[in-house]
Amino acid sequence: MQSTVEERFQVSPYLVFFLVHSIQIGVGVLTFQAEIVKWAGNDAWISIIIAGMYIHLLIWMMYHVLNKEKTDIIAINKKIFGKWLGNFFNIFLLIYFLLISIVIIRSYFEVIQVWMFPRVSLLSLCFIFFPLFYYIVEGGFRTVTGICFFGVVMPLYLILTLIFPLEFAHYDNLLPIWHHSINEILLSAKQMSLSYIGFSTLFIYYPFIKEPEKSQKWAQFGVAFSIFIYFITYIVSAVFYSEEQLKTNLWPTLGLWKIIEMPFVERFEYIGISSWALVILPNITLAYWAFMRGMKRVFGVKQRKPLVFSLIATVIIVPFIKSHSQIQMLSNSLSYAGYIVFFGYIPFIFVSHFIYSKVKKNK
């Protein structure tokens, strides 16, 4: 079951930088500090780097398999594991991609409700955003790639906002260095790895890349830039907040924006949250596209049907998730699925493909 894609539907290798990076930077940037500091305290910056290095390794594993097979993961799973077991893994991945979209959408809607419009209904937000999601994904992979490009470039100015909190920085918050155990730092790195979630969509869009072998360096650059964003965001947060404040603050990054004062704007966090819509748009549309494309490859249906199904399912599910604890339960479900993909499935498919290739060569 090979996946051949016409050249007019493909994108240049360098655009993989934006595809990988854009889906790793989302709502998690607003909240990740509170999660990783629970384990490693002020040493959590080490965990960010360790988790990032592991993601680099996973990207290498993925390309090692994809470059040899020249097709997507749907065909690879069927080739190695057979129709039934292969489709089991395929369906798990598709549910995982759909879950990514739902969690990001609901988490962003929570930020809007808490920080901007407390009385707005979830259904109203769905009717505002979902036609845009449909329009982008229906436009095809090249349209989604364009959104990923603009979702990285246009909100890039927000990096400059990290300069303002340094006026109140306490750099001794970072000291002493490495006073937590290896186990605590690794537990923090395990939690941090979930912030890099979504890059596994590469398994689906690989055939849509021109000369995909040349795109691996761009994928690695994308991960490196994600590490940089998380690293500097954490460092600024760590010197601005105390360790106890970081543990109890649900949205530390929004707190950094709240102190920004400019002559022409009083509440900069409103601008930041609005701009963040451009950041989460690639997350959602790329995950929806991967789900749609995967459904077509597994079941042979037209792409529009799974897209409409996924959007309707999300509209039905999102309004029932009302409290923060329910959102946390949904996020935990994504975390468990992410652990399976990061620490189970990707290393497993790498080893399985290696064994399969050796056995086939010997025969």
pLDDT in tens, 134-145: 999 999 999 999
pLDDT at 24: 94
Residue 353 has pLDDT above 70, yes or no: yes
Residue 260 has pLDDT above 90, yes or no: no
pTM of this structure: 0.94
Sorted by sequence, the CB contacts under 8 Å of residue 341 that are 6+ apart come out as 93, 96, 200
pLDDT at 290: 96
Sorted by sequence, the CB contacts under 8 Å of residue 74 that are 6+ apart come out as 1, 3, 90, 204, 294, 297, 298
At residue 35 the predicted structure's pLDDT band, cuts being 50, 70 and 90, is confident
Round the average pLDDT of the chain to a whole number and report it. Answer: 92
At residue 3 the predicted structure's pLDDT band, cuts being 50, 70 and 90, is low
Residue 359 belongs to a domain: no
Tokens coding 51: 């988790």
Cα–Cα dist 331/315, whole Å:
17
Residue 356 belongs to a domain: no
Phi/psi region, residue 360 (left: phi>0; alpha: psi -120 to 50; beta: rest), is alpha
Question: Could you please report the per-residue DSSP string of 139-166?
Answer: T-HHHHHHHHHHHHHGGGGGGGGGGGGG
What value does the mean pLDDT take over residues 111-117? 92
CATH no. for residue 262? 1.20.1740.10
Residue 232 belongs to a domain: yes
Residue 361 belongs to a domain: no
Q: How far is CA 118 from CA 83, 115, 121, 139, 212, in A?
A: 49, 7, 8, 33, 46
pLDDT at 195: 87
Cα–Cα dist 252/162, whole Å:
12
Residue 362 belongs to a domain: no
Residue 338 has pLDDT above 60, yes or no: yes
- Give per-residue pLDDT as tens, 296-309: 999 999 989 999 99
Residue 360 belongs to a domain: no
Residue 187 belongs to a domain: yes
pLDDT at 165: 93
- Find the angle CA(14)-CA(18)-CA(20) to the nearest 5 degrees: 105
Residue 1 has pLDDT above 60, yes or no: no
More confident residue, 360 or 246: 246
Range of the domain at 15: 7-350
Residue 363 belongs to a domain: no
Cα–Cα dist 192/319, whole Å:
28
- Give per-residue pLDDT as tens, 53-109: 999 999 999 999 999 999 999 999 999 999 999 999 999 999 999 999 999 999 999
Considering its fold, how many domains does the chain have in total? 1
What value does the mean pLDDT take over residues 345-353? 96
